[in-house]
Chain A
């Protein structure tokens, strides 16, 4: 029986992180505790919405940068569909903390950037751009210039731009951190719906415990010095919100228990208050 389970798991895993360690090159001559993180092992399964939490300096962004291919691991490996990740490629879409849209292109052309460089046929590009703009609720803003959009709209364009290539996984580095509370909530709703209906795997870094609780199906909490996984928790709330079409029902005792637990986990090491964007 256990064998069958293992086979099933092996098939379901999209990304497999093996013995991953990272230190910045200039520190290499120093003692071993300069590792940003050491011997990380975890799998990412298809369709998961993973939120990564942890206090500043625990290597959350570095982990995302390695998954994206922006940084090379010092040792260890990352496999995507059993193939080792080497450098950046279009299998992993990234949404940055700042939208990093191309100001010289219109909204449409920004979304069409991936398909254009991949030389899709023109009518397919047009159709897909329209589809994804509609998906993020910007069907009427396609011809606008980037600077005419609000912060939340820009991040919507960035999400559409990353999704249109249909990457295996969407990596998001605190994408809503700079948005105001109302916009952030509507962005969370949008992302949750996109995740639920597309079945896309999402790897999402956040500082905000409630954001993690309401979006993730699984939260990975990283600890510091050196970075390592402190806790790996499955969460039911994201699905509940979608299926009941409301987030009122989730504020239960269970929710607050999880919340307390996670706050404890994050601040346990250094007793420093957690940097939270409130």
Chain B
């Protein structure tokens, strides 16, 4: 953490340079605003969307609708797959049973099965949340299983020699020892769900920040697409920061043994 804070100025400099390069290149080179909008037109578009919204919803409504879908999916995936991952982590037979399902789903591009999900669940929010859920689940499961299977055998043996029952070993040792990995899984899961957002809002959406980017492309509003991308980027970054902060607070012993 310390070294990260010390060099934070480097990150800031790089971020500012990117914006400067963007500004200078769009000023000096004659590139069509359609292909590469200048910072100025993006700011203007941002102001416009902020003031009058986009297609009947305010910008914040779009962001909120997207976040709602993501959190629903993420929450469901976390509850179900942390539990499942912990159970399968402790039980090699169940793990073997889950293996083909997870390894099959994990690398699938969500768009591949999206139409099937829409056929099954309709064009409402359910299909969107389901798609995000499928994207969010595997990282959690994989990390939970890994967190448990790689626990130092001495930890468990020590607990046994001290008289702990299986249940006590699970709640006082295994769960804690796996917690850092569970959090890694949750962070990857949120990132995975977030990355699927645009795909999830492709079909029959009327709102959402991902849908906004897609819809704007139909009207060649590159400036609005950029606004959506930047808002998405910053929101994603903030979400990860929040999880990271919680992570560091709860798992204070991580990497310090």
Contact = CB atoms under 8 A, between A and B. Distances in A.
B162 A117 contact: yes
Contacts of B157: 68, 70, 88, 94, 96
A90 interface: yes
A76 interface: no
Interface stretch (B6-14, B67-75, B171-179): B171-179
Contacts of A162: 161-162
Given A104-B179, A146-B257, A147-B253, A96 B172 contact: no
B152 interface: yes
Nearest to B175: A104
Nearest to B176: A104
Given A102-B176, A147-B253, A114 B155 contact: no
Interface in B99-147: none
SS class, residues of chain B in contact with chain A = helix
A146 B253 contact: yes
B168 interface: yes
Contacts of A70: 157
Interface in B232-257: 251-253, 256-257
A236 interface: no
B255 to A, nearest CB: 9
B161 A68 contact: yes
Contacts of A117: 159, 162-165, 168, 172
Given A100-B152, A117-B165, A94 B158 contact: yes
Interface string A160-196: 0110010100000000000000000000000000000
A145 B252 contact: yes
Nearest to A98: B154
B150 to A, nearest CB: 14
B160 A88 contact: yes
Contacts of B158: 94, 96, 100, 161
Given A94-B157, A113-B172, A117-B168, A165 B253 contact: no
Interface of A: 68-70, 88-90, 92-94, 96, 98, 100, 102-104, 113-114, 117-118, 145-147, 161-162, 165, 167
9 contacts: A68-B157, A68-B161, A96-B154, A100-B154, A102-B172, A117-B159, A117-B172, A146-B257, A165-B163
Given A118-B162, A145-B252, A167-B161, 15 more contacts: A68-B157, A88-B160, A88-B161, A89-B163, A98-B154, A104-B177, A104-B251, A113-B162, A117-B159, A117-B163, A146-B253, A147-B253, A147-B256, A161-B158, A165-B163
